């Protein structure tokens, strides 16, 4: 089976009805670009940059170290796009520096994490933004912002991106163009997609968090893990809505949560109109195999029926 899959590496991911599907890799270190290319990824859809920041006893990587890391990722992908997500620390990914507040977090998943943390530490955020802008001179780089929920956060984030550019200009340092993307991980964001599309070039749906926040299920709490349901109608409607609104405005949209790499979800996501999937490199060939067997014209009506079903899971095996 493994061998059969590996033969698919250079096969384009195209459905039976001719829809081209983009299969991207999720990575945690610049060196993971090698594995991403090996698996046949056509880019990196999610570089979880926080892994550069973790386990360093509070000594965070400076601009030069980050720049080198992002540049290695961009060059490693040989011109294919690399989407770098700004640091996403919090409950599930503690950073030594935040540990001072860690013990008294009432609910870390609802607290100071991801973009909230970056906006609370603007000096550090600017270091990261400058490093990413500089790396963008060496490849095709997209900037992705995690966990946005509010127009005010969007405004502050974009102001800091501009400030980082001005700082580099003032220093006479070379930097490249960035496409700007927002993660849709909070129901509030999924319900206000047009607001996001006014400011961003593309969206990426982080289903791991979107499920957690929609269903009020802490993704790190095993005592409620049986209630963590990717096909709950509320979750599916938020995903469907986000995809449809991006398509209507001709903006890119992908899914980069675990759902994108789950072969049991491939048909449903295709049926909801998704054409870009980002996943762990080890899943790419299996998902591609599913895609090659699919006819999206047949999946659309079925996906709509799953959206409003009492028991969507029962329909998933049809």
Q: Which residues bind ligand PEP (CB under 6 A)?
A: 46, 48, 88, 185, 206-209, 256-257
CB of 209 to ligand PEP, least distance (A): 3
Q: With contact defined as beta carbons under 8 Å apart, do 124 and 157 qualify?
A: no
CB of 2 to ligand PEP, least distance (A): 26
> CB within 8 A of 297, min separation 6: which ones?
17
Q: Verify binding: residue 90, Mg ion, rule CB under 5 A.
A: no
Please give the Cα distance from 211 to 234 (Å, whole number): 9
Other C-beta atoms closer than 10 Å to the C-beta of 261 total: 23
Q: Which two tokens mark 313?
A: 């899971």
- Cβ closest to Mg ion, residue 206 vs residue 271: 206
Please give the Cα distance from 317 to 262 (Å, whole number): 14
Please give the Cα distance from 47 to 313 (Å, whole number): 31
The one of ligand PEP, Mg ion, none whose footprint includes residue 207, by CB under 5 to 8 A per kind, is: ligand PEP
Chain centroid, CA 277 distance in Å? 9
CB of 52 to ligand PEP, least distance (A): 14
- Cβ closest to ligand PEP, residue 134 vs residue 205: 205
- Cβ closest to ligand PEP, residue 46 vs residue 203: 46
The one of ligand PEP, Mg ion, none whose footprint includes residue 257, by CB under 5 to 8 A per kind, is: ligand PEP
The one of ligand PEP, Mg ion, none whose footprint includes residue 278, by CB under 5 to 8 A per kind, is: none
- Cβ closest to ligand PEP, residue 48 vs residue 275: 48
- Cβ closest to Mg ion, residue 40 vs residue 206: 206
Count of residues of this chain found to bind Mg ion when the rule CB under 5 A is applied: 3
The one of ligand PEP, Mg ion, none whose footprint includes residue 48, by CB under 5 to 8 A per kind, is: ligand PEP
**Which residues, 189 to 208, sit near Mg ion by CB under 5 A?**
206
Please give the Cα distance from 142 to 172 (Å, whole number): 22
Chain centroid, CA 240 distance in Å? 16
Q: Which two tokens mark 314?
A: 């029962």
φ and ψ at residue 47, rounded to 5 degrees = -105, 105
Q: Which of 50, 153, 209, 218 binds Mg ion (CB under 5 A)?
A: 209
DSSP state of 86: P
Q: Which two tokens mark 183?
A: 């993660």
The one of ligand PEP, Mg ion, none whose footprint includes residue 281, by CB under 5 to 8 A per kind, is: none
Of 191, 195, 207, 213, the C-alpha closest to 158 is 195
- Cβ closest to ligand PEP, residue 48 vs residue 267: 48
Q: Which residues bind Mg ion (CB under 5 A)?
A: 185, 206, 209
């Amino acid at each position: 089976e493994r061998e059969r899959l590996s033969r698919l590496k250079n096969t384009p991911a195209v459905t039976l009805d001719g829809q081209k599907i983009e299969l991207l890799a999720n990575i945690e270190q610049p060196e993971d670009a090698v594995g991403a290319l090996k698996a046949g990824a056509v880019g990196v859809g999610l570089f979880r940059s926080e892994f550069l920041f973790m386990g360093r006893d509070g000594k965070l990587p400076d601009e030069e170290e980050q720049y080198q890391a992002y540049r290695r990722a961009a060059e490693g992908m040989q011109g294919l796009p690399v989407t770098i997500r700004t640091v996403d620390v919090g409950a599930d990914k503690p950073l030594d520096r935040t540990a001072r507040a860690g013990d008294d977090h009432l609910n870390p998943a609802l607290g100071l994490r991801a973009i909230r943390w970056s906006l609370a530490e603007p000096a550090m955020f600017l270091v990261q933004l400058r490093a990413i802008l500089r790396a963008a001179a060496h490849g095709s780089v997209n900037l992705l912002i995690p966990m946005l929920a509010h127009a005010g956060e969007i405004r502050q984030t974009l102001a800091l991106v501009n400030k980082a550019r001005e700082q580099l200009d003032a220093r006479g340092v070379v930097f490249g163009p960035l496409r700007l993307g927002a993660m849709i991980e909070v129901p509030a964001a999924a319900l206000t997609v047009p607001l996001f599309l006014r400011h961003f070039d593309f969206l990426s749906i982080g289903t791991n968090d979107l499920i957690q926040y929609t269903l009020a299920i802490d993704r790190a709490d095993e005592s409620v893990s049986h209630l963590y349901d990717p096909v709950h109608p509320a979750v599916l409607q938020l995903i469907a809505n986000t995809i449809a609104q991006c398509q209507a405005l001709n903006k890119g949209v992908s899914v980069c949560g675990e759902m994108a790499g789950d072969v049991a979800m491939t048909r449903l996501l295709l049926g909801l109109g998704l054409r870009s999937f980002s996943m762990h490199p080890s899943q790419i060939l299996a998902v591609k195999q599913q895609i090659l067997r699919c006819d999206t014209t047949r999946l659309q009506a079925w996906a709509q029926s799953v959206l409003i079903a009492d028991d969507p899971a029962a329909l998933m095996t049809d």
